[in-house]
Each structure stands twice: as C-alpha cells, then as structure tokens.
C-alpha cells in the first residue's frame, strides 16, 4: 500500500470516527489495544513482583483486608490495587494478565472518560485525537500494562479532576451536577486508597487553582458540599480505621513515615535532579510530544479564539504544572509518578494537531497525525517487548524447570535476597524463610526494611520467617526429611558451606542460584553436630 492510498484510508476512517456512533467501535478497539501482549511477559522485578506478590499473599492466606508481604502485614501503600488484583486472581487464576488486569481496566476507564469529557466540551474531533494520542503514548500504554500502582493512582486522579470539572461546569450552566460532585468525592477516596494523601491533595489542588485563576467562585461551594465529603469519608475511611484498630501505630507509620518523611527527606532511593520529569514527559510521550513543539503557539492562538476555551486551557496547564512541580520537589523520584500528567498532555497535543487540521498547514499536519499514530503504536509494542529480553531475575524460569520435582510440602529459603514474585510462581502455601543479618540491620530504603517493618506489626510471625543468618542451620536441623529450595547470589555461596560444594539446580541471568537441599539423616549427620558443639 503506497502512502497516498494509506492517507486516503486514514481520511475515510477519520470521517467515520466523527460519527455519533463512533464509540461503539472506538471503545472495544481501545480495550483490545490496551490489553494486547499483556499476557506475554513474566512479572517485572522488583515492582510488579512486589505489588502482585502482596495481592497473591492476600489470596493464599485469605487476608481480604490486610495487605501481606511474605505473610506479614505490609503497609507501605494502601490496598486498592491489592484488592483489585486479589479478586482478579480469584476469578481468573494466577496469570500475568490477571495480575495486570487492574491497570488495564483503569487505563480503559480513564481513556473512555477522557474521550467523553473532551467530546462534550471540545468536540468529537479533538476527543478522537485525544484518545488516539493517549493510548499510543508509551508512557500511558506502558503504565496500562504494568502491574503496579502508577496507572491506578494516575487514573483515579484523572477521573477525580474530570468529575470535579464536570460538576462545576454543569452547575454554572444550570444543569444537574450533584451526581458528578458526589462521584468526585468517591473517586478522591479511591485515589487515596490507591496511593495515599496525594489522591486528594493533587486533584484538589488542580481544581482549587483552576477555580481561583478563572474566578469561578461558585465552584468552591460545589466541590466542598457536604455530600462530597460524606462520599469521600464513607469510601475512604473504613479501611484506615480497621487497620489502626487491629495494628496499633499503623496511622503514624502510614501517614507520618511513608508520606511526610519520604517526601521531605533525602534518605530514600531513586534520587534525581529537580528537572528529571521534563525529559521523562517529553521522551515517554513521543512521538506525540513533537506536536506540542511544532504547533503549540499557532494552536494555542487558534484554540483561544473559540469561546469558552480559555477556562479549559487553564485547567490543562494547571493540571500539568502543579503535578509535575509537586513530584519534582522531593529528592526521590520515579518515572511513574507523573502518569497523572499524561491525560491533559494528550488533550493539549490533540488541540495542537486539530488546530492544524482546521486551517494551519492542513495537508501536512493530517499526514503527521497519521505518522504519530502509527509510530506511537509501534513504539509501544517494541518498548514492552524489550521487557521480555531484559528480565533477568524472574522466578518463573526456575519454577518451570523444577516443576516435576517440587511438592506442596517443600519450603523456600532466600539468603540475603527476597524474590518478590516467588510466591506467585512457586505456589508455596507458607511464607519463605528470609535470611540476612536481621540483628544488625542498618538504615536504608530496601526490601530488608520493608520486611522488617512488616515484621514489627506481627512480631510472632516475624520471628518465624525473618531468620537471622546465625540461626539458619539450627532452624534447618529441627526439620525431619524436609526439602528446601534455596535462592542465593553466586558471590554469597562461599559463605555457606552446606551449599558451597553443591551443584545449583538453576542459575539465573542476574547471577542468582537455586539449590535443592534435603534435610535428611545425611544432612543432620554432617551439619547438625557442628551446631551443638
């Protein structure tokens, strides 16, 4: 197919997308596209393994309310993702696509609601380009297919802002608005249950400054109505009350340590420069970000000529600026933090391109829109496929190798490492022994402190599964005819004579080794007398 024929095909498709019935095929295609190849990759370590591992622990230990890590209460993050993944596992089983289903569903709902919102306020053409841009941005597409909190909190923040903006606009137009206002309160609570206080602080800040800048004073009464707060408290409060009731000190740990200390101090991982998110946003939204660079000034001038657009332009700019600045302030930064900025960027990019489509270099811009769409889709698929080849420390290949030998009675021992995906793939029915120098643990932001913090909330179980390195052999010697699968890094093998001369069952690409150790009479005869002497 030559370029002219492809262009003609796209033109016909575009005209079809402008029809009122377009969502009947746009939305199913969006769902298929977002979920494409979600089943292909093993869980990525550490993030997917950590959050999926917590959800799987809730399934295997029947813990509906309390998130668990290796059987221990895990309160680094709130529970909404874990709940969604837990029910996904109960419905579909332990599969990678089931683990990613919460992110996929939230991404789909975000895309659909954004389309409907933009279509109502800016027309079908801008809405269609917004949808195409959003779902073919590597940033959004990657978050949709990644089983962690980024897409969930990004989607909930987006939906909260959209519901609040819709409520205000309907109130000022004399239309029914209370349903959207109450929905905003409930969505803000879900955002808090996704990742804490930013779930209300960020959408609240965006809407506050939007109303302030545009002088829409009556909007404050809409957003602060009693029904809004009642919905927020009914949805968001019960879990926090239940956890503090069951685990004394939870609220201090969750809000003071995990929120304010992490935000204000520099002793945590992933420290980056203040400008970190500028190249992240421009790079991970390619090729669509090129539309902003090329057409932003003429498109803004053209868009502002439309009556009433100024208020929406202000909302988008405040949305992007406030969230980006907020996450740029702390020293600790992760790429996924600014996922909530991607939806307003998609609208701005769509406005830029549609301004061109309506009179500014129409032929050239039309072809570039097609180019952006195809290039974006290809980039998304290639980017996620790369994960299949760079994954080095997944437990899945090991489990596939020893499947015939493993029994439900086998135990797992992790020496100076904790593979977050291990329970998900091994199907173990009990917590693993995690071995390190727990008695001499130093400060840091790592898996050791995550487990140590979890153990503090349940000390009895913590003593059983968090095994100090000096206590490992004595604990093993108490077992009778028990098989253990031991995971250890190759540089650490020499420190442990009971496996130093054994042949590893599996060697991971990251240098990790798996050993099979049978605690039988031979093992006890060689190692247990040395303990007693």
Question: CA torsion, points 176, 182, 188, 189, in degrees to nearest 10?
Answer: -170
If one counts every other C-beta atom within 10 angstroms of the C-beta of residue 229, the result is 14
Question: CA torsion, points 28, 31, 37, 40, in degrees to nearest 10?
Answer: -120
Region label for 77, one of left (φ > 0), alpha (ψ between -120 and 50) or beta (otherwise): beta
For residue 412, how many C-alpha atoms fall within 13 Å in the half-sphere facing its CB?
29
Q: Do the beta carbons of residue 213 and residue 319 sit within 8 Å?
A: no
Any idea which residue has 């095994």 for tokens?
467
- pLDDT digits over 448-474, tens only? 888 988 888 999 998 999 999 989 998
**Residues whose CB falls within 8 Å of the CB of residue 238, separated by 6 or more in sequence, listed in order:** none
Q: Do the beta carbons of residue 134 and residue 346 sit within 8 Å?
A: yes
The DSSP-derived string for 391-460 is --S-SHHHHHHHTTT--TT-EEEEES---TTHHHHH--SSPPEEEE-GGGPPP-SSHHHHHHHHHHHSHH
Phi, psi of 467, rounded to the nearest 5 degrees: -100, 120
**Residues whose CB falls within 8 Å of the CB of residue 13, separated by 6 or more in sequence, listed in order:** none
Nearest to 172 by CA among 124, 221, 231: 221
**Secondary structure of residue 513 in the 3-state scheme:** strand
Distance CA 339, CA 156 (A): 11
- pLDDT digits over 361-418, tens only? 555 656 677 777 787 888 888 887 777 666 667 888 888 888 888 888 889 999 999 9
**Residues whose CB falls within 8 Å of the CB of residue 514, separated by 6 or more in sequence, listed in order:** 398, 402, 485, 486, 487, 504, 505, 506, 507, 508
Across-strand partners of 514?
A: 487, 506
Task: Please give the pLDDT value at position 36.
Answer: 83
Any idea which residue has 């923040």 for tokens?
157
Q: Do the beta carbons of residue 463 and residue 430 sit within 8 Å?
A: no
185 CB-contact burial (10 Å; exposed 0-12 / middle 13-18 / buried 19+): buried
Helix (H) or strand (E) segment spanning residue 474 = helix 472-477
Nearest to 510 by CA among 39, 69, 49: 49
How are beta strands 506-507 and 512-519 bridged, if at all?
Answer: antiparallel
**Secondary structure of residue 13 in the 3-state scheme:** helix
Contacts from 399-405 at CB under 8 Å and sequence distance 24+? 399/425, 399/426, 401/505, 401/506, 402/485, 402/505, 402/506, 402/514, 402/516, 405/516
Ranges of the chain with pLDDT below 70: 1-23, 259-273, 293-310, 332-333, 356-367, 388-392, 442-445, 530-533
Across-strand partners of 488?
A: 513
Which 8-state DSSP code applies to residue 481? S
Here the tokens at position 233 are: 């408290």
Any idea which residue has 């004579």 for tokens?
497
**Residues whose CB falls within 8 Å of the CB of residue 173, separated by 6 or more in sequence, listed in order:** none
Distance CA 176, CA 179 (A): 8
The DSSP-derived string for 1-18 is --HHHHHHHHHHHHHHHT
Tell me how far CA of residue 105 lies from CA of 4, 32, 147, 330, in angstroms: 37, 11, 11, 30
Show me where the domains of the chain are located. 3-35+95-147+244-390, 396-532
Any idea which residue has 């420290």 for tokens?
271
Nearest to 341 by CA among 366, 360, 318: 318
Task: Please give the pLDDT value at position 50.
Answer: 92
Distance CA 77, CA 243 (A): 13
20 CB-contact burial (10 Å; exposed 0-12 / middle 13-18 / buried 19+): exposed
Q: Do the beta carbons of residue 159 and residue 40 sit within 8 Å?
A: no
Here the tokens at position 75 are: 């309160």
**pTM attached to this predicted model:** 0.90
* Edge-to-edge order in the sheet of strand 506-507: 466-468, 433-436, 411-415, 482-489, 512-519, 506-507
Tell me how far CA of residue 459 lies from CA of 98, 258, 417, in angstroms: 32, 20, 20
Helix (H) or strand (E) segment spanning residue 486 = strand 482-489
Task: Please give the pLDDT value at position 215.
Answer: 86
Nearest to 409 by CA among 518, 266, 498: 518
Helix (H) or strand (E) segment spanning residue 140 = helix 138-144
């Amino acid at each position: 197919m030559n370029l002219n024929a492809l262009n003609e095909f796209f033109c016909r498709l575009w005209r079809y997308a402008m029809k009122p019935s377009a969502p009947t095929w746009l939305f199913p295609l969006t769902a298929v596209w977002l979920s494409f190849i979600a089943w292909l990759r093993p869980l990525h370590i550490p993030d997917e393994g950590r959050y999926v591992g917590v959800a799987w622990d809730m399934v295997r230990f029947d813990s509906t309310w309390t998130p668990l890590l290796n059987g221990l209460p895990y309160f680094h993050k709130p529970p909404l993702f874990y709940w969604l993944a837990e029910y996904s596992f109960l419905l579909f089983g332990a599969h990678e696509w089931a683990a990613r289903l919460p992110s996929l569903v939230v991404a789909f709902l975000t895309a659909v609601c954004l389309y409907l919102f933009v279509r109502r306020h800016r027309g079908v053409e801008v809405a269609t380009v917004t949808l195409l841009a959003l779902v073919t941005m590597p940033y959004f597409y990657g978050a949709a297919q990644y089983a962690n909190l980024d897409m969930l909190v990004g989607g909930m923040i987006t939906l909260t802002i959209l519901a609040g903006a819709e409520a205000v606009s309907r109130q000022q137009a004399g239309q029914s608005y209370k349903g959207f206002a109450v929905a905003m309160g409930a969505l803000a609570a879900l955002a808090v249950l996704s990742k804490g206080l930013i779930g209300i602080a960020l959408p609240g800040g965006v809407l506050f400054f939007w109303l302030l800048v545009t002088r829409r004073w009556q909007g404050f009464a809409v957003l602060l109505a009693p029904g809004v707060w009642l919905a927020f408290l009914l949805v968001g409060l019960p879990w926090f009350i239940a956890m503090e009731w069951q685990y004394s000190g939870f609220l201090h740990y969750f809000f003071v340590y995990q929120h304010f200390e992490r935000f204000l101090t520099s002793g945590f991982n992933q420290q980056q420069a203040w400008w970190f998110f500028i190249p992240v946003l421009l790079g991970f939204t390619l090729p669509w970000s090129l539309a902003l660079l090329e057409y932003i000034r003429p498109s803004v001038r053209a868009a502002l000529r439309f009556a009433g657009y100024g208020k929406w332009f202000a909302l988008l700019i405040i949305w992007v600026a406030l969230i980006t600045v907020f996450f740029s302030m702390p020293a600790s930064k992760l790429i996924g933090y600014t996922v909530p900025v991607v939806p307003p960027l998609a609208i701005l990019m769509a406005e830029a391109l549609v301004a061109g489509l309506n009179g500014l270099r129409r032929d050239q811009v039309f072809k570039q829109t097609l180019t952006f769409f195809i290039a974006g889709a290809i980039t998304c698929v290639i980017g996620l496929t790369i994960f299949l080849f760079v994954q080095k420390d997944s437990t899945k290949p090991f489990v596939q190798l020893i499947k015939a030998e493993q029994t439900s009675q086998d135990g797992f021992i992790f020496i100076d490492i904790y593979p977050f995906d291990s329970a998900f793939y091994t199907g173990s029915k009990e917590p693993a022994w995690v071995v390190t120098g727990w008695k001499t643990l130093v400060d840091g932001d790592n898996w050791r402190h995550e487990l140590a913090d979890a153990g503090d909330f349940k000390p009895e179980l913590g003593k059983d599964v968090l095994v100090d390195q000096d206590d490992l052999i004595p604990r093993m010697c108490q077992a009778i005819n028990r098989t253990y699968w031991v995971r250890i890094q190759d540089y650490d093998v020499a420190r442990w004579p009971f496996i130093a001369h054994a042949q590893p069952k599996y060697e991971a690409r990251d240098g990790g080794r798996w050993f099979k150790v049978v605690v039988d009479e031979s093992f006890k005869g060689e190692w247990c007398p040395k303990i007693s002497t």
